[in-house]
C-alpha cells in the first residue's frame, strides 16, 4: 500500500470514528484506537483551534531547572540529530515526563510551520491537552511510537508525521521523550529508528554520569576518611592509578599529593616495575615489600593490599603502607618471639651449674656473643632466654632457630630470608629471615654444629658487617642482633678437624658456657623432679603427684643420657601408670630398671667465674689456683672445675699457663 493510499484510509477511519464513534480495526492500530476512545470520553474537540502555550517564560525556566540533568545530558545528542536532519524538513523536540516541550530544534521553515500550531517550547503534548499524538502515546505506552496524518486526534495535526521514543533513567523511570516531527508526506520508518537510538544513548550517558557521580562521592568520602587516620594509605583504581593518597602517606614517602594523584605506583616506587601490573590481585593479597627514595635517603616499606570489588570485579585497592621495622615488630608480637625464662627458673644447687649461671649473669649484661655447650636436654635454650631477659635487649625480640630441625636447602632462607620469587616454590611476597626478625634483640641458634659450611661463611660475614642480604636480592639490610649459639658437641674440636669453620667458632665463643649433664649433678634430681611433677599434676588434673623413696633412688642412679628432657618424659609415664598418685620404681620406664644404661655422650667443657673481674681473667685465675691446689694434676683440676682433661690442657695452652706450671 502506497503512502497516499494509507493516509486516505486512515483519514476515512478518523472521520468514521469522529462522526459515528466506530473504529475500523483493519486500518487503525489498537494503541491509536484506544487513545481516540480516551479523547472522545474526555470530550476533547478534534477540530479545536491551535492550542495555547501552557507555560510562560518563568514557568518554563522552572521546569527546565527541574530537568537540568536530563537536558544537559540530552543536549549533545540533540545537537547531533539536529545536524543529521538539517535540510530534511524535520524538527527535533525534547519533552519532559508529563509531555511539556523543553526545547525545539530545526530548520526555520519547519519551525515556522510548528509555531502555527504552538508546537513550541512551553506547550504541552499531554493526551488530555492535545489529544492523540506520538509524544503522549510514547509516554503512556512507555515504548517508541510513530504516528502519521489522521492517526493524530486533532485535525490540525494531520499535516504531521511524528516519531517519538521515551527516555528512561538508569533506574527505569520515564524522564521524557525525544521526537522527530515533519510533514506527513516525508514519513519514513527510519525516523523512528533515529529517535530510538538517541533515547538509548541518552539513557546510557545518564548511567555513566550516575556512575561518575557515585564514584566522585565515594572518592570524596574515602579521601575524607583516609585524611583523618594516622596510618599511611594509598588508594588505586582498576587501572592502577593513584586516586587518593592521605597526608600520612605523603609524609612517610616525602612526596606531595600532586606528584602521586593520577599516576601509577611506579612514580612512587620506581625500583619496582612489577607494580605497573599490580591488579588484578585475585586471592593473592599478601603483604609485600618495596623501597622508596626519600629526600633523606632510601626507606623500606611493607604494603598490605585490600581489594575493592563491585559486581564481582576488582575496582581498585586500598594499600596500607608501613615502614618495614614497624611491620617486623608486629610479626614478632604475633609470632610470640619473646623469652619467658629467667635465671630464677633454672633449678639446681650443684657447684658446676651455679658457676655457669654466674658466668651467664655477668655475660648477659654485656653485648658479647655467647656459645653454650651441652648435651641434648641440659637446658641450653633456657639459659639463652635467661641471658636475653637479663640483658639490655630484654625489650627486644628473642628469636630461636634449631639448625638441626630445618632441611639444609631451606636453612639459608630461614636465617636470611628471601625476596619474592627467589626460587621455585617460594612465596610471591618473599619472607623475612630470623636475623631480620631478631633485629634489636637476640637470635638463638641451637645446634649450630649442624649448619652447613657454606652457610657458616655467610653467617660470619653478617656478624662482621652487621648487614644481611636476602636470598635472591642485592640490597643489604642493616641489622642489630646479639647471637647466642648452642651445640651439643665439642665445637672447638670440630673446628680443629675442619668440620666447623674455626673463624666462626672464635666469633661465636667470646663467652663460652658448658652446661653440666644431669648425671653430674644428681643432688639436683629430686628438686627438679618435684617441680616437674607439680606441672604434670596440673596438666593431668590431679591434686598431687609424688615419688616413693625407692623411685627417687632409682632416678639418682640412672645416667640420664637425655638429661632433663628425658627425666620429664620418664616422670610423665610414671604419673600415667601410678593410679594412687605415688610413683614407684615399677611405674617408671623399663630402661630405668635395666642394669645396662644407655651410653653417655661425652660433654663439652665448662667455664668458671670469680669475683668482680672479666670472664677471661676469672677463668685464668681459677685454673691457676686449681693447678696449684692439686700440684698440676690435670684430672683433679678438671673434676673440680667441671672440665674434661682435654679442655683443661686447651685452656692452659690458650692462656699461656703451661709455661709457668709443671704438669704431670
Q: DSSP string covering 556-571, please?
A: HHS--TTHHHHHHHHH
Q: How far apart are CA 480 and CA 457, in angstroms?
A: 19
Query: All 3 cell numbers of residue 475?
Result: 640490597
The percent of residues above 70 in pLDDT, for the chain, comes to 90
For the chain, what is the largest distance between any 2 Cα atoms, rounded to a whole number of angstroms?
149
- Which of 312 and 356 is assigned the larger pLDDT? 356
451, 474, 508 — which closes off a domain? 508
In a domain, 340, yes or no: yes
Specify the pLDDT at position 605: 36
Measured from the Cβ of residue 78, the count of other Cβ atoms closer than 10 Å reads: 20
Specify the pLDDT at position 599: 42
User: What does the chain come to in residues?
Assistant: 664
In a domain, 583, yes or no: yes
Considering the domain architecture, whether residues 364 and 484 belong to the same structural domain is answered as yes
Considering the domain architecture, whether residues 18 and 65 belong to the same structural domain is answered as yes
User: How many alpha carbons fall within 13 Å on the CB side of residue 385?
Assistant: 16
| 47-51, 71-75, 97-101, 161-165: the lowest-pLDDT one | 47-51
Over 50: is that where the pLDDT of 40 sits? Answer: yes
CA 81 to the chain's CA centroid: 51
Q: What's the mean pLDDT in 24-33? A: 93
Confidence of residue 202 (pLDDT cuts 50, 70, 90): very high
| 96-110, 274-288, 467-481: the lowest-pLDDT one | 274-288
In a domain, 26, yes or no: yes
Place of cell 653467617: 459
Considering the domain architecture, whether residues 426 and 474 belong to the same structural domain is answered as yes
Cα torsion angle, 203, 205, 206, 212, sign: positive
Q: How far apart are CA 136 and CA 613, in angstroms?
A: 107
**How much of the chain is in helix, strand and coil states, percent to nearest 5?**
50, 20, 35
In a domain, 606, yes or no: no
Cα torsion angle, 365, 367, 371, 376, sign: positive
Considering the domain architecture, whether residues 203 and 65 belong to the same structural domain is answered as yes
Q: At 252, which CATH number? A: 3.30.450.20
Considering the domain architecture, whether residues 257 and 154 belong to the same structural domain is answered as no
Confidence of residue 128 (pLDDT cuts 50, 70, 90): very high
Considering the domain architecture, whether residues 178 and 282 belong to the same structural domain is answered as no
Specify the pLDDT at position 592: 79
The percent of residues above 90 in pLDDT, for the chain, comes to 46
Considering the domain architecture, whether residues 523 and 500 belong to the same structural domain is answered as no
Specify the pLDDT at position 601: 38
Q: How far apart are CA 560 and CA 258, in angstroms?
A: 71
Over 70: is that where the pLDDT of 186 sits? Answer: yes
Over 90: is that where the pLDDT of 222 sits? Answer: no
Confidence of residue 616 (pLDDT cuts 50, 70, 90): low
Q: What's the mean pLDDT in 200-226? A: 80
In a domain, 135, yes or no: yes
In a domain, 598, yes or no: no
Specify the pLDDT at position 589: 86
CB 290 within 8 A of CB 303: yes
| Residue 486 three-state SS | strand
pLDDT digits (tens, 9 = 90+) for 57-110: 999 999 999 999 999 999 988 888 888 878 888 999 999 999 999 999 988 888
CA nearest neighbour of 377 among 447, 442, 451, 448: 447
CA nearest neighbour of 254 among 307, 301, 315: 301
| Residue 385 three-state SS | helix
- Which of 207 and 420 is assigned the larger pLDDT? 207
In a domain, 176, yes or no: yes
Considering the domain architecture, whether residues 381 and 526 belong to the same structural domain is answered as no
Q: At 638, which CATH number? A: 1.10.10.60
CB 543 within 8 A of CB 537: yes
Task: Specify burial of residue 605 (Cβ count, 10 A radius: 0-12, 13-18, 19+).
Answer: buried
Specify the pLDDT at position 603: 37
Q: At 444, which CATH number? A: 3.40.50.300
The pTM score is 0.53
In a domain, 217, yes or no: no
Burial 617-641 (b: 16+ CB within 10 A, else e): ebbbebbeebbeeeeeebeebbbbb
- Which of 250 and 219 is assigned the larger pLDDT? 250
pLDDT digits (tens, 9 = 90+) for 344-381: 999 988 999 999 999 999 999 998 999 999 999 999 99
Considering the domain architecture, whether residues 53 and 188 belong to the same structural domain is answered as yes
Q: How far apart are CA 551 and CA 389, in angstroms?
A: 36
Considering the domain architecture, whether residues 351 and 434 belong to the same structural domain is answered as yes
Q: At 564, which CATH number? A: 1.10.8.60
Give residue 557's domain range. Answer: 518-593
Considering the domain architecture, whether residues 153 and 41 belong to the same structural domain is answered as yes
pLDDT digits (tens, 9 = 90+) for 537-562: 988 888 889 999 889 888 988 999 99
Over 90: is that where the pLDDT of 41 sits? Answer: yes
- Which of 294 and 148 is assigned the larger pLDDT? 148
Number of domains, the chain: 5
Specify the pLDDT at position 600: 42
Q: What's the mean pLDDT in 435-457? A: 92
Considering the domain architecture, whether residues 348 and 305 belong to the same structural domain is answered as no
Place of cell 699457663: 657
Amino acid at each position: 500500500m502506497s503512502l497516499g493510499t494509507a493516509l486516505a484510509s486512515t483519514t476515512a477511519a478518523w472521520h468514521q470514528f469522529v462522526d459515528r464513534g466506530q473504529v475500523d480495526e483493519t486500518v487503525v492500530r489498537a494503541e491509536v484506537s484506544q487513545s481516540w476512545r480516551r479523547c472522545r470520553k474526555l470530550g476533547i474537540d478534534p477540530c479545536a483551534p491551535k492550542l495555547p502555550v501552557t507555560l510562560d517564560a518563568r514557568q518554563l525556566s522552572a521546569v527546565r531547572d527541574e530537568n537540568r540533568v536530563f537536558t544537559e545530558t540530552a543536549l549533545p545528542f540533540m545537537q547531533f540529530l539536529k545536524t543529521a536532519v538539517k535540510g530534511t524538513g524535520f524538527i527535533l523536540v525534547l519533552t519532559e515526563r508529563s509531555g511539556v516541550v523543553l526545547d525545539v530544534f530545526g530548520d526555520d521553515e519547519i519551525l515556522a510551520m510548528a509555531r502555527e500550531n504552538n508546537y513550541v517550547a512551553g506547550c504541552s503534548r499531554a493526551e488530555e491537552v492535545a489529544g492523540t499524538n506520538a509524544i503522549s502515546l510514547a509516554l503512556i505506552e512507555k515504548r517508541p511510537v510513530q504516528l502519521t496524518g489522521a492517526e493524530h486526534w486533532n485535525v490540525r495535526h494531520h499535516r504531521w508525521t511524528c516519531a517519538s521514543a521515551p527516555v528512561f533513567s538508569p533506574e527505569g523511570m520515564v524522564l521524557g521523550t525525544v521526537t522527530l516531527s515533519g510533514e506527513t508526506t516525508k514519513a519514513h520508518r527510519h525516523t523512528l529508528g533515529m529517535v530510538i537510538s538517541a533515547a538509548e544513548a541518552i539513557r546510557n550517558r545518564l548511567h555513566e554520569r550516575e556512575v561518575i557521580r557515585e564514584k566522585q562521592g565515594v572518592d570524596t568520602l574515602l579521601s575524607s576518611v583516609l585524611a583523618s587516620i594516622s596510618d599511611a594509605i594509598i588508594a588505586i583504581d582498576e587501572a592502577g592509578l593513584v586516586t587518593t593518597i592521605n597526608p600520612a602517606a605523603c609524609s612517610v614517602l616525602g612526596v606531595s599529593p600532586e606528584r602521586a594523584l593520577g599516576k601509577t605506583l611506579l612514580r612512587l616506587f620506581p625500583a619496582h616495575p612489577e607494580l605497573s601490573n599490580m591488579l588484578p590481585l585475585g586471592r593473592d593479597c599478601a603483604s609485600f615489600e618495596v623501597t622508596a627514595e626519600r629526600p633523606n635517603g632510601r626507606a623500606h616499606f611493607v604494603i598490605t593490599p585490600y581489594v575493592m570489588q563491585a559486581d564481582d570485579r576488582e575496582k581498585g585497592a586500598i594499600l596500607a603502607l608501613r615502614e618495614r621495622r614497624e611491620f617486623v615488630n608486629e610479626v614478632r608480637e604475633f609470632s610470640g618471639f619473646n623469652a619467658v625464662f629467667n635465671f630464677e627458673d633454672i633449678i639446681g644447687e650443684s657447684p658446676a651449674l651455679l658457676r655457669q649461671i654466674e658466668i651467664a649473669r655477668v655475660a648477659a649484661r654485656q653485648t658479647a656473643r655467647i656459645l653454650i655447650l651441652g648435651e641434648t636436654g641440659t637446658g641450653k635454650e633456657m639459659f639463652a632466654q635467661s641471658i636475653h631477659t637479663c640483658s639490655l635487649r630484654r625489650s627486644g625480640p628473642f628469636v630461636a632457630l634449631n639448625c638441626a630441625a630445618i632441611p639444609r636447602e631451606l636453612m639459608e632462607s630461614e636465617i636470611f630470608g628471601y625476596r619474592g620469587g627467589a626460587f621455585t616454590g617460594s612465596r610471591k611476597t618473599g619472607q623475612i629471615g630470623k636475623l631480620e626478625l631478631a633485629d634489636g634483640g637476640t637470635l638463638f641458634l641451637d645446634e649450630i654444629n649442624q649448619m652447613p659450611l657454606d652457610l657458616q661463611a655467610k653467617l660470619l660475614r653478617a656478624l662482621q658487617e652487621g648487614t644481611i642480604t636476602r636470598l635472591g636480592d642485592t640490597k643489604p639490610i642493616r641489622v642489630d642482633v646479639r647471637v647466642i649459639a648452642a651445640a651439643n658437641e665439642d665445637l672447638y674440636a670440630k673446628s680443629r678437624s675442619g668440620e666447623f669453620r674455626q673463624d666462626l667458632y672464635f666469633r661465636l665463643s667470646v663467652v663460652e658456657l658448658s652446661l653440666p649433664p644431669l648425671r653430674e649433678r644428681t643432688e639436683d634430681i629430686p628438686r627438679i623432679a618435684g617441680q616437674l611433677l607439680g606441672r604434670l599434676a596440673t596438666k593431668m588434673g590431679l591434686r598431687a603427684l609424688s615419688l616413693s623413696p625407692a623411685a627417687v633412688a632409682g632416678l639418682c642412679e640412672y645416667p640420664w643420657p637425655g638429661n632433663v628432657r628425658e627425666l620429664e618424659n620418664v616422670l610423665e609415664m610414671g604419673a600415667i601408670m601410678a593410679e594412687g598418685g605415688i610413683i614407684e620404681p615399677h611405674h617408671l620406664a623399663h630402661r630405668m630398671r635395666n642394669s645396662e644404661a644407655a651410653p653417655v655422650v661425652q660433654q663439652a667443657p665448662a667455664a668458671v667465674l670469680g669475683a668482680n673481674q672479666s670472664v677471661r681473667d676469672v677463668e685464668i685465675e681459677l685454673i691457676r689456683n686449681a693447678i696449684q691446689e692439686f700440684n698440676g694434676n690435670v684430672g683433679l683440676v678438671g673434676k673440680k672445675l667441671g672440665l674434661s682433661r682435654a679442655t683443661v690442657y686447651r685452656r692452659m695452652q690458650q692462656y699461656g699457663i703451661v709455661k709457668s706450671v709443671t704438669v704431670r
